[in-house]
Amino acid sequence: MKPSISLQLSTYNWPQALELCLQSILMQTVMPDEIIVCDDGSKNETAVLIETFAKKFQVPLIHIWQPDEGFQLAKIRNKGFAKTEKDYIVQIDGDLVLQKDFIKDHQRFALPGFFTTGSRVLLSNDTTQALFKEKSIDIKRYAGKERNPLNGLHFPCLHNLLSTRYKQKGKYVYYVKGCNMAFWKKDLLHVNGYNEEFTGWGREDSELAIRLINAGVKKRFLKFGGICYHLWHKEASREMEQININRMNRAIQEKTIESPRGISQYL
């Protein structure tokens, strides 16, 4: 039986990107059962955009907002996790354009006892600006010199074959991409979701993966499926990265399972 799906996307003050992301969700061959926008303090323009798109969807489009008090992605994602009653959470960022089978791939790939990470194609600045100018999600029409274009290949017959073989060993044991992940809600509850001690950019998704693995939940990599295209933008400030790396490494060393500050605050 296929799990019910909550698609959760995070955003912060970039309605131009969010508009393309929502357009791509509207074009999915399989729709999620709900969409939750996890908003880390955007201004009113984002709320107006979401209200407009809510009328276009045949599934609930829910907006969760928190005040802008700095980069608190872990916190707003936990609030999204707590909000849903669906079986399975597919997590993306609001600056992605999703290939039409993105949700279909994730739903078919879901397997009890595992969480999923995927990859992305990094769009060039030129491609991104062309998409914005035309308000288009037609990647093929405007694509130029993208990074890692092989991540855009779609081969469903290889999904299961590569699931536990690709990027699983050595330095890739805890490798994940927070912009393209999926979890069973019961597993997130078991580890208490994201660790809200993480503020500023970086590593909160890897630390969550570490704690899931410590709890016995294994990683599967969705290769050549769950395809998404990351709109170009300048890199976020990395001033907190080393502190966050230290927190991540502590979770490995101490075999941590439960977040000290997580979903339980919102249940």
pLDDT in tens, 153-178: 999 999 999 999 999 999 899 999 99
Pair of tokens at residue 2: 């296929």
pLDDT at 237: 65
User: Which one, of 231, 250, 249, 238, lies nearest residue 202 by Cα?
Assistant: 238
pTM metric for this prediction: 0.95
pLDDT at 236: 66
Domain containing residue 212: 5-266
Q: What is the CATH number of the domain that holds 234?
A: 3.90.550.10
Q: CB-hemisphere CA count at 13 Å for 174?
A: 17
pLDDT value at position 64? Answer: 98
Q: Based on the structure, what is the number of domains in the chain? A: 1
Q: Return the closest-CA partner of residue 6 out of 19, 29, 21, 25.
A: 25
